[in-house]
Chains A and B, each alone.
Chain A
């Protein structure tokens, strides 16, 4: 089955760019997602990318997908303190449940 891995912690200074990386194993995953979770809250969908795309940009967020290496990254430009949260990478296809990584805790230092 699918296995999703991501680094557990990332610390950046306010105003810098943050890059959160993720790898997955199942090449048949057609959708790759990034979710944000703030303390005590549910998951908020940030963005997603289809497997036939290389890049997707949405305001401060840029998603890069290297399908050959099964590597996904989320870049947050001009990181703010409000971006501090846990970011989950998830992979899925069709109506199957999403498989989540363990989450990357992003800390933004003012």
Chain B
């Protein structure tokens, strides 16, 4: 299947700093990318959907000024957690889908710990 690479795999940052997470589709063009958040022992919660070249669509309750999503090219989307706080600590997973694909391919996830 197609490969989606997410970087970094884990990051520890100080409270108040910003962290950028990258999601790359390595062998296909990802017209749509999804960002999910997963709390321990819980399911995935969709944060936002982004289409290449357009502004991301955020789910209700997700602060768009805090979680900045950029999908500037067909192979790269970034999620920036601004002014991170300990409650932002979580596992963040991206997934990417090509225009004609029926399935979404997932990155390996990024574990963010804010101290």
Residues of A within 8 A of B (CB): 31, 33, 35, 40-45, 48, 50, 88, 92, 95, 97-98, 100-103
Q: Contacting B106 at CB < 8 Å: which of A35, A97, A103?
A: A35
Q: What range describes how many residues of B lie at the interface?
A: 20 to 34
Which secondary structure characterizes the binding site on chain B? strand
B43 near A101 (CB under 8 angstroms)? yes
- Please indicate the chain B residues that have their CB under 8 angstroms from the CB of A33 in the complex: 103
A95 near B103 (CB under 8 angstroms)? no
B42 to chain A: closest CB distance in Å? Answer: 7
B77 at the interface (CB under 8 A from A): no
Known A-B contacts A88-B44, A102-B42, A103-B43; the reply to A45 vs B102 at CB < 8 A is no
Contact flags B73-114 to A (C-beta < 8 A → 1, else 0): 000000000000000000001010100001111111101000
A44 to chain B: closest CB distance in Å? Answer: 7
Q: How many A-B residue pairs have CB under 8 A?
A: 44
B43 near A31 (CB under 8 angstroms)? no
Residues of B within 8 A of A (CB): 1, 6, 32, 34, 42-44, 46, 49, 93, 95, 97, 102-109, 111
Known A-B contacts A97-B49, A98-B104; the reply to A41 vs B42 at CB < 8 A is no
Known A-B contacts A31-B103, A97-B34; the reply to A41 vs B108 at CB < 8 A is yes
B46 near A45 (CB under 8 angstroms)? no
A42 near B102 (CB under 8 angstroms)? no
- Please indicate the chain A residues that have their CB under 8 angstroms from the CB of B107 in the complex: 42
Query: Apart from A41-B109, A43-B95, A45-B103, what are 19 other A-B pairs with CB-CB below 8 Å?
Result: A31-B102, A33-B103, A35-B106, A41-B108, A42-B93, A42-B106, A43-B44, A44-B106, A48-B102, A50-B102, A88-B44, A92-B104, A97-B49, A98-B34, A98-B95, A98-B104, A101-B43, A102-B42, A102-B43
